[in-house]
Structure 1
Amino acid sequence: MEDVEITDVNEDDLLYEGNEAPLQNQDLNSLSQIAGAFLSQYGWYLLVVIFLVYLIIQHLNKSSSQRDRNAVLVARNQEAMEASRRKMQEELNAKAAIFREKQKEQEEEKRRQKIEIWDSMQQGKSYKGTAKLSQTTEEASSSSAVLKPKDKKPLRNADYNPLTGQGGGSCSWRPSRRGPSSGG
């Protein structure tokens, strides 16, 4: 008998020789078997892990959006505080300017009074009378209401004497002597 060579044609019209097996990708076949075995053993665990990762990602997205909103609120609050601080600083600067003007006026008034006193001393007059006169005119102009002197009444009876212990009522308590306590 003669040796016959058998050729096989598969679906792709490729020729195979008799002893050779059809070409297959052994890596993909073994990988699919490994993946199938892994999923059959750990499929539920993998599904739970994927679900937890999804929940964590959703939570992080929510918290980041809240942080963004909070950052906007914080920025607005800081801007409002800064505006309030600027307003307060402007008011303070205005008050300080008014105070400086008053100080200058007072210094000018004191300088004017010293000049008047010096002039009166040069003329041989008493400077105390002129100084008192100018102070009373300033006080009269600054105060709008005239204060009446109050009647003074005594705090204790006239017959009260703390040294004798009489006249102060029925209480005769005296404080104890100061110093370290005696005892053993």
Structure 2
Amino acid sequence: MESDGGTTKIKTDTSIENQDLSFLQQTVGVFVAEYGWYLLLLSVGVYLLFQYLSQRRSSREDNSSAQGAAEDATSLLGRQEALEASRRRMQEELDAKAAQYREKQLALQEERRKQKIEMWESMQEGKSYKGNAKFQNSTEEASASAVPKPKSDKKPLRNSGYNPLTGDGGGTCSWRPGRRGPSAGG
């Protein structure tokens, strides 16, 4: 680019020759015409060579994976045995807890049966049994629920008095549907 006192001139070189690829098409056409069969046989040979090499590689991998599989089988067997032992241990713990729970339930049933017998005997003697039963039940409930439940502070969901069904409060639009029933004519 040259600048001569305010005017700019752009020089362009148009020396690009043979912009299309027709020369390449002619060259490749001549080469394929003379050596086409050789190229075809060479490409088939390369394809077969790749197939052969890939089969050899896969057979080597199979041999190495068979050895790895034998090692994996022993480690897998060890893991399965450890898993089975842990399951057995957990099942024994669960059975022990279930036996303790059954013993507690049997003790509670026996205690209730004794209370019923005592109530029956006191009824037969003409004494009041309700006071004792209430006192015993309240002590059982108090011992059963040692931790009192915290009261929840529930706030109402609607803080304002807006109800869209009544039309009160919400805004400028206060349309209400008409009365149901027969018209007031006549």
- Tell me the TM-score normalised to structure 2 length: 0.49
Whose RCO is larger (CA < 8 A, sep 6+)?
1
| Higher gyration radius (CA) | 1
